[in-house]
Amino acid sequence: MLTIGLTGGIGSGKTAVTDIFLDLGVPIVDADQVAREVVEPGQPALEEIITQLGTDLLLTDSQLDRKALRKKIFENPQAREILEQILHPKIRRQMWERLENPTYPYAILSIPLLIETGQNSRVDRVLVVDCPVSLQIERIRKRDRISLNQAKAIIAIQCSREQRLSAADNIIDNAGGLEMLPSAVEELHRRYMKIALSH
């Protein structure tokens, strides 16, 4: 089965793009969704996070306090490294397990840190959803109600726009807004089907 690694900077429009692929019937394995599942109460990853990073990250209902965790890892690079060591192998394993019994000619793995974690080498093609950094900042400030400095700090953790684009096999330009996306996605969908079926 053909695997497409979809990535893009925060606020680039990855979710909007994957939603259109989903509507076309394409299976989507979303790293963010898997990441939420592996830290649910009772999961080993949550216990490891609490043991290594502190019980103050637990809400009264035993759920992970995502807001407190986000604050901790932005203020403390060492905490971010610990978190990544706990989560990345588990997320990766679960994502690839979901592709073991293919039901469609191709699948999309939506991975925000695809390039940063070197997983682009494991997929057949890299699809980058792209927009200017200024637009990313504008979108995430509006969406997450955060300051300009917080937005810049989040973007600084990710690889640069240039690094992403140089790793891309295909690019969807999302600078123009959502109404431009369906035709771009449908064109890629036809291309991916053709590649997948000719394998």
Strand, helix or coil at 100? Answer: coil
Could you tell me if 114 and 185 lie in one domain? yes
Could you tell me if 118 and 178 lie in one domain? yes
Average pLDDT of the chain, as a whole number = 94
Could you tell me if 55 and 17 lie in one domain? no
What tens digit of pLDDT does each residue of 50-97 get? 999 999 999 999 999 998 998 898 889 899 999 999 999 999 999 999
Q: Tell me: pLDDT of 36 over 80.
A: yes
Last residue of a domain, one of 75, 101, 127: 101
What tens digit of pLDDT does each residue of 154-182 get? 898 899 999 999 999 999 999 987 888 99
Could you tell me if 22 and 110 lie in one domain? yes
Could you tell me if 119 and 149 lie in one domain? yes
pLDDT for position 94? 94
Q: Tell me: pLDDT of 98 over 90.
A: yes
Q: Tell me: pLDDT of 4 over 90.
A: yes
**Where are the strands (E) in 8-95, listed by range?**
28-30
pLDDT for position 177? 78
Do 172 and 186 touch, CB atoms closer than 8 A?
no
Q: Tell me: pLDDT of 99 over 80.
A: yes
What tens digit of pLDDT does each residue of 186-198 get? 999 999 999 999 9
pLDDT for position 51? 95
Could you tell me if 59 and 95 lie in one domain? yes
Give the C-alpha distances (Å, rounded to integers) separating 89 from 32, 40, 63, 85, 141.
14, 16, 21, 7, 30
**Where are the strands (E) in the chain, listed by range?**
2-7, 28-30, 106-110, 125-130, 170-173
Could you tell me if 16 and 53 lie in one domain? no
Could you tell me if 21 and 45 lie in one domain? no
Q: Tell me: pLDDT of 199 over 80.
A: no
Could you tell me if 193 and 174 lie in one domain? yes
* Domain of 4, in residue numbers: 1-27+106-199
Last residue of a domain, one of 48, 75, 101: 101
Mean predicted confidence (pLDDT) in 99-113: 94
Rg (CA), the chain: 18
Last residue of a domain, one of 65, 82, 101: 101
Give the C-alpha distances (Å, rounded to integers) separating 180 from 23, 142, 171, 191.
16, 21, 13, 18
Do 184 and 8 touch, CB atoms closer than 8 A?
no
What tens digit of pLDDT does each residue of 8-17 get? 999 999 999 9
Could you tell me if 195 and 169 lie in one domain? yes
Could you tell me if 17 and 47 lie in one domain? no
Tokens (6 digits) for 35: 């990441």
Could you tell me if 118 and 52 lie in one domain? no
* CATH number of 186's domain: 3.40.50.300
How many domains does the chain fold into?
A: 2
